[in-house]
Amino acid sequence: MIPLDTSVLIDSLVSVLEFGMQDAEIAAELCRTVPRPRGRELDLAIAASALLRDAELWTLNLSDFTDIETLRLYSPPQTG
């Protein structure tokens, strides 16, 4: 059996996005405008990154993001 280098596989499937000034500005705006922003800083940063890149956000926790009106959400179908 040939050993599998999982780091090569992971690198080919995953890309890391930098969190820059524009992301921070959008996240700050979300903190000012969404209801109950306290304790949601990471969720709002993730949402900001998706908004900046006009990307659909894949989440298993739709309720964490439904109050962000312009954010497009995707939730995989539940199985089982």
Average pLDDT over residues 41-53: 96
Q: Name the residue type at position 64.
A: D
Q: Determine the Cα–Cα distance for residues 15 and 2; give it in Å rounded to an integer.
A: 26
pLDDT at 24 over 60: yes
Q: Determine the Cα–Cα distance for residues 70 and 37; give it in Å rounded to an integer.
A: 16
Q: Are strands 73-74 and 57-58 parallel, antiparallel or unpaired?
A: parallel
pLDDT at 1 over 80: no
| CA 58 from centroid of its chain's CA atoms | 7
pTM of the entire structure? Answer: 0.77
Lookup result for tokens 């659909």:
56
The domains of the chain, with CATH numbers, are 19-74 (3.40.50.1010)
